[in-house]
């Protein structure tokens, strides 16, 4: 999913892609070089297509695709995966085609396939045979292919290992490629500097067999456990966890969102792949907790520790080349752990926040005074682990639903309802919009009506986001199911379902289809939109216009997108909408997660990490912009985090900014 925009440079659905880079100071000369090369390459390939990319942004897309080649291959479903063990063979360029043809013919004889990518121009292709290393047959094929590759590389005057070193995968064959005399020289140097063989045993000198230290190997069994989400697409929960290939995209810094906790701590233990490894070891029995009754619990303390700093931001679902979905897996782990050990008071409090918020709203403003008072915040920290430094959200007695009930009797709304030309839009009211930020919901409804739509608010229940975050999956599934029933008429009528809180509305796009394999759930996932996505689509396709005029105050707007929207929606839609305001220049902040992530930043045990996540890129960018820029967000948690950590910062929701600019 993270490469959706990048692959737009490709024409059709090619079987192979060849990238050739030319350099020149003259654009015309570049074009001539490219066309000349293309004509030479495609004399016997009339169906080949040419894309000449002079724009730097397009060129960056090429390298993004190239970089993600490994991860995209590893995204294959099931237990057959492209395996890395012969990929370093470096062959003289004149012989490279023959080496590749011979190797692929050898694979075909055994009913095997392979993927190939990388740098042919220097005589090296990464060829990854697709093997099932969970079974003994696959392990035997691993050795057969390796031995054949060594034979072919020697035949064509190449090197079996030409780029990444030897290690466990290739050291065994060094005697064949280098000869006993050279290997003995290696051994003498090794003994001189490491007489006890402590450093990297089993590599280069006195190597282990290549098939000894396999992650899986014949007889490997990943435990299948009861889950709430459906993992049929992957075959099982264990197979889903095995999607992590260890490629390490989650160790990125300064780009994207994944992985916020690693960016903050710089600790490998807090990467997405480390969490996947912990889950893998738990499912195959390498780590577990044994109870007094003798039963083994796969959710061990080590697994919980590894998952503790996962913010459930969903970035890995999009940015990880293999599509690891750690937020979903963490929810499964917490549900399974609770089935044995019960729930903490803190988890119950946060998961059932929507119920408590209803009561608090009915008692506002007294509830705000009580919740914000220092003694109560001290108690909340001691009893529930909610850091007293972070002010709790405020409640509004006049909720969005109360306002809308009054608004429905107005002439403006009745006229809209009677106008049969107006398209109906279902506005999904989540807990935060209803109780903590009703002004955002009012702005959204004003925008929909200004665009010629008739908004309808159903009597929906909470979508379950707080339950998902704390692993109350059975309760969350029940809430999603009730909403499917409530929204069924709207779905049958093909009315779009729109919301302003990304983590809430995108539940129907992400979690719902994996909880309910029904036609209604599938259709709802396709007809659920963030407000920005819906407005932007309708405007760009000519079905809507908004009467926007200049706004007061700073006209430079810097936008911070919600993590769930970055992963599952189109945050660029917000920037496009804001730039429709006549006197505005809006740009997106190139920053990852804010660090709040629902309740994460409220918890005392996570406060410092949450702050460090924001300080990685987001907070410095806002401070640098200063008072000349207005901060715009789309997530309730994001605004809360920015207001708390940056003095005199008052972020606005994009719906409020657009509503301000509506011509009355």
**DSSP for 146-183, written as a single string:** HHHHHHHHHHTT-BS--SS--HHHHGGGHHHHH-HHHH
Q: Say what the pLDDT of residue 609 is.
A: 96
How confident is the model over 257-284, as a mean pLDDT? Answer: 93
Q: Say what the pLDDT of residue 290 is.
A: 59
Lowest mean pLDDT among 86-100, 245-259, 598-612: 245-259
pLDDT at residue 291 greater than cutoff 60: no
Lowest mean pLDDT among 285-289, 324-328, 548-552: 285-289
Q: Say what the pLDDT of residue 416 is.
A: 92
Q: Say what the pLDDT of residue 247 is.
A: 82
Query: 24, 51, 23: which is closest to 38 by C-alpha?
Result: 51
Lowest mean pLDDT among 162-166, 445-449, 512-516: 162-166
Answer yes or no: are the C-beta atoms of 320 and 250 closer than 8 Å: yes
Residue 39 CB burial class (10 angstroms; 0-12, 13-18, ≥19) = exposed
Answer yes or no: are the C-beta atoms of 209 and 172 closer than 8 Å: yes
Q: Is 631 helix (H, G, I), strand (E, B) or coil?
A: strand
pLDDT at residue 664 greater than cutoff 60: no
Q: Which tops the pLDDT comparison, 66 or 401?
A: 401
pLDDT tens digits along 318-353: 888 888 999 999 999 999 999 888 999 999 999 999
CA distance readout (Å), 34 to 43, 50, 129: 14, 9, 32
pLDDT tens digits along 219-242: 777 788 999 999 988 888 988 998
Distance of CA 190 to the CA centre of its chain: 44
Cβ of 113: how many Cβ atoms within 10 Å?
A: 13
Quote the tokens at residue 383.
Answer: 């009893």
Answer yes or no: are the C-beta atoms of 562 and 642 closer than 8 Å: no
Pairing between β-strand 296-297 and β-strand 453-456 as defined by DSSP bridges: unpaired
Give the ranges where 131-290 is alpha helix by DSSP (H).
136-155, 167-170, 174-178, 180-193, 237-241, 260-265, 272-283
Mean of all residue pLDDT scores within the chain: 91
How confident is the model over 201-211, as a mean pLDDT? Answer: 92
Looking at the chain, the whole-number percentage of residues with pLDDT higher than 90 is 70
pLDDT at residue 253 greater than cutoff 90: no
d(CA 451, CA 465): 29
Q: Say what the pLDDT of residue 566 is.
A: 94
Alpha-carbon dihedral angle through residues 335, 338, 344, 350, given to the nearest 10 degrees: 20
pLDDT at residue 81 greater than cutoff 80: yes
d(CA 634, CA 641): 12
Q: Say what the pLDDT of residue 295 is.
A: 59
Quote the tokens at residue 97.
Answer: 């085609």
Cβ of 343: how many Cβ atoms within 10 Å?
A: 17
Cβ of 238: how many Cβ atoms within 10 Å?
A: 19
Q: Say what the pLDDT of residue 245 is.
A: 83
How confident is the model over 526-555, as a mean pLDDT? Answer: 95
pLDDT at residue 532 greater than cutoff 70: yes
Q: Say what the pLDDT of residue 294 is.
A: 53
How confident is the model over 301-329, as a mean pLDDT? Answer: 92
Query: 508, 514, 554, 558: which is closest to 533 by C-alpha?
Result: 508
CA distance readout (Å), 293 to 71, 230, 613: 43, 30, 42
Residue 401 CB burial class (10 angstroms; 0-12, 13-18, ≥19) = middle
Looking at the chain, the whole-number percentage of residues with pLDDT higher than 70 is 98
Give the ranges where 3-135 is alpha helix by DSSP (H).
27-41, 56-67, 69-74, 96-109
CA distance readout (Å), 152 to 93, 114, 230, 592: 14, 16, 45, 47
Lowest mean pLDDT among 15-29, 431-445, 479-493: 15-29
Q: Say what the pLDDT of residue 293 is.
A: 52
Query: 538, 156, 517, 599: which is closest to 334 by C-alpha?
Result: 599
Regarding pTM above 0.85, the answer is yes
Q: Say what the pLDDT of residue 296 is.
A: 61
Q: What does the DSSP assignment read for 298-364?
A: SS-HHHHHHHTT-----HHHHHSTT---HHHHHHHHHHHHHHHH---HHHHHHHTHHHHHHHHHHTT
Cβ of 501: how many Cβ atoms within 10 Å?
A: 31
pLDDT at residue 544 greater than cutoff 70: yes
How is residue 388 annotated by DSSP?
Answer: T
Q: Say what the pLDDT of residue 50 is.
A: 81
pLDDT at residue 424 greater than cutoff 80: yes
The pLDDT confidence band at residue 648, using thresholds 50, 70 and 90, is confident
pLDDT tens digits along 45-62: 888 888 888 889 999 999
Q: Say what the pLDDT of residue 421 is.
A: 84
Answer yes or no: are the C-beta atoms of 568 and 314 closer than 8 Å: yes
Q: Which tops the pLDDT comparison, 524 or 52?
A: 524
pLDDT at residue 364 greater than cutoff 90: yes
Residues in the chain: 664
How confident is the model over 289-305, as a mean pLDDT? Answer: 74
């Amino acid at each position: 999913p993270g490469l959706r925009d990048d692959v737009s440079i490709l024409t059709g659905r090619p079987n192979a892609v060849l990238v050739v880079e030319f350099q020149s100071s003259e654009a015309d000369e570049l074009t001539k070089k490219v066309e000349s090369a293309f004509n030479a390459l495609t004399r016997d390939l009339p169906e080949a297509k040419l894309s000449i990319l002079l724009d730097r942004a397009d060129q960056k897309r090429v390298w993004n695709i190239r970089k993600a080649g490994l991860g995209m291959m590893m995204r294959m479903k099931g237990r057959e995966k492209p395996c890395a063990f012969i990929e370093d063979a470096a062959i003289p360029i004149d012989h490279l085609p023959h080496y590749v043809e011979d190797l692929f013919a050898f694979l075909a004889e055994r009913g095997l396939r392979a993927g190939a990518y990388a740098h042919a121009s220097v005589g090296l292709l990464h060829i990854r045979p697709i093997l099932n290393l969970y079974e003994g047959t696959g392990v035997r094929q691993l050795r057969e292919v390796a031995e054949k590759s060594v034979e072919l590389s020697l035949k064509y005057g190449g090197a079996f290992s030409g780029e990444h070193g030897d290690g466990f995968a290739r050291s065994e064959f060094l005697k064949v490629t280098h000869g006993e005399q050279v290997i003995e020289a290696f051994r003498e140097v090794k003994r001189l500097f490491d007489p006890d063989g402590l450093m990297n045993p089993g590599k280069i000198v006195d190597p282990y067999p290549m098939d000894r230290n396999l992650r899986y190997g014949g007889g490997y069994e990943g435990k299948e456990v009861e889950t709430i989400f459906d993992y049929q697409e992957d075959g099982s929960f264990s197979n889903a966890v095995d999607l992590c290939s260890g490629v390490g995209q989650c160790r990125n810094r300064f780009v994207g969102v994944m992985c916020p906790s690693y960016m903050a701590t710089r600790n490998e233990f807090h990467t997405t792949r480390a969490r996947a490894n912990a889950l893998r070891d738990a499912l195959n029995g390498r780590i577990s907790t044994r109870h007094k009754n003798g039963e083994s619990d796969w959710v061990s303390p080590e697994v919980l520790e590894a998952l503790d700093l996962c913010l459930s931001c969903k970035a890995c679902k999009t940015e990880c080349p293999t599509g690891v979905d750690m937020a979903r897996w963490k929810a499964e782990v917490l549900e399974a752990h609770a089935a044995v050990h019960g729930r903490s008071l803190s988890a119950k409090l946060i998961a059932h926040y929507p119920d408590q918020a209803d009561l608090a709203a009915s008692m506002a403003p007294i509830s705000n005074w009580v919740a914000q008072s220092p003694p109560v915040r001290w108690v909340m920290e001691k009893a529930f682990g909610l850091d007293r430094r972070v002010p709790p959200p405020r409640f509004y007695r006049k909720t969005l639903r109360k306002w809308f009930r009054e608004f429905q009797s107005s002439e403006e709304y009745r006229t809209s309802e009677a106008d049969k030309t107006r398209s109906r839009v279902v506005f999904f009211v989540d807990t935060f919009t209803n109780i903590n930020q009703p002004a955002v919901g009012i702005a959204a409804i004003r925008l929909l009506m200004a665009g010629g739509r008739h908004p309808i608010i159903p009597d929906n229940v909470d979508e379950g986001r707080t339950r998902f975050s704390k692993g109350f999956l059975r309760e969350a599934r029940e809430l999603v199911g009730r909403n499917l029933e409530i929204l069924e008429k709207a779905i049958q009528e093909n009315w779009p379902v729109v919301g302003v809180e990304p983590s809430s509305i995108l539940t129907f796009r992400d979690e719902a289809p994996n909880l309910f394999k029904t036609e209604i759930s599938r259709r709802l996932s396709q007809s659920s939109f963030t407000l920005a996505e819906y407005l932007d689509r309708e405007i760009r396709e000519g079905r809507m216009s908004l009467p926007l005029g200049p706004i007061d105050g700073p006209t430079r707007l810097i936008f911070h997108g919600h993590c769930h929207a970055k992963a599952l929606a189109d945050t660029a839609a917000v920037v496009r909408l804001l730039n429709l305001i006549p006197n505005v220049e809006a740009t997106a902040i190139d920053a990852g997660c804010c660090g709040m992530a629902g309740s994460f930043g409220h918890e005392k045990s996570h406060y410092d990490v949450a702050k460090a996540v924001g300080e990685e890129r987001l907070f410095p960018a806002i401070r640098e912009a200063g008072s000349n820029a207005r901060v715009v967000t789309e997530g309730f948690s994001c605004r809360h985090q920015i207001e708390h950590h940056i003095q005199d910062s008052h972020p606005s929701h994009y719906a409020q900014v657009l509503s301000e600019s509506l011509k009355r």
